[in-house]
Amino acid sequence: MEARKPRQVRRNPGQTTKREPHQLAAGTVTKVTPTQRDPERISVFIDGEFAFALPDIIVATRGLKRGVELTLEEVRELAGIAEGEKATAAALNFVSYRPRSEREVRDRLRRKAFEPATIDYAIEKMRGWRYLDDTAFAEFWVGSRAEHSPRGKRALQSELRAKGVEREVVERVLEETDLDEGNAALEIARKRLRSLSSYDEETQRRRLSAFLARRGYGWDVVKPVLAELFSGDTDDEE
């Protein structure tokens, strides 16, 4: 009977795989040398094979040098620190482009297949360095939106909550931020109206209302904007 070929499993390009743990074992340090990319990180070899890379300060404080014998427990601890430092480096790179919420960083590291304990290690270091602060992130997000792409409070609340910022933090930041929803909505509505010049007034009103609603503005903001842009009273439009 002809042997069946093993089925090939296709993997989604965006899908990550579980990190395969190294075979950890007790042994003797045979070599410590700076890594090529970062001289402040030290490659540690155990019994002639690369084991992990650690910050030079940890290598120094742990007294890791040639001839030092390590127990299995010590090797596991050092390997955990090495993986945590790797996750921290990935997190730092992620926040280098723009501020991120803690949820965003956790999700990013999870997609890179870091273990939960390793992610916690990186998050704690990031907090300690004040690279992660959801209040500061929310303030940045609201300010950036106001400057580049205005949104109403409802939209801002939804966006920040989707990024994992606690409801209490979102509400406090929005309350403390001087958001001029009326003028912001009026400005973007004026720009939008230019592209609707070929439509009749009723259609323009309807489309502007929907546009502003998608931007998170309530009817209490939209109504006076329509009154400003069009002649006629909108008091009866409920």
The predicted-structure confidence for 91-127, as pLDDT tens digits, reads as follows: 999 999 899 999 999 999 999 999 999 999 999 999 9
Separation between Cα atoms, residue 75 and residue 32, nearest integer Å? 14
Query: What local confidence, expressed as pLDDT, does residue 152 receive?
Result: 94
Write out the two tokens for 223.
């109504």
Residue showing tokens 């992130």: 137
User: Tokens 């230019």 belong to which residue?
Assistant: 194
- What is the predicted pLDDT for the residue at 22? 54
Is residue 11 over pLDDT 90? Answer: no
Phi-psi region of 132 (alpha: psi -120 to 50; beta: other; left: phi over 0): beta
- For the stretch 160-186, pLDDT in tens is 999 999 999 999 999 999 889 999 999
CA distance 71 to 188: 65
**Strand order, beta sheet including 27-34:** 49-55, 41-46, 27-34, 69-70
Question: Which DSSP state fits 131?
Answer: -
DSSP 12-74: -TT---PPPPP----EEEEEEEE-SS-TTEEEEEETTEEEEEEEHHHHHHTT--TT-EE-HHH
pLDDT digits (tens, 9 = 90+) for 28-49: 999 999 998 888 889 999 999 9
Angle (CA) 102-107-113 rounded to 5° is: 130
Mean pLDDT confidence for 223-237: 73
Contacts with 118 (C-beta within 8 Å, 6 or more apart), sequence order? 80, 83, 84, 87, 109
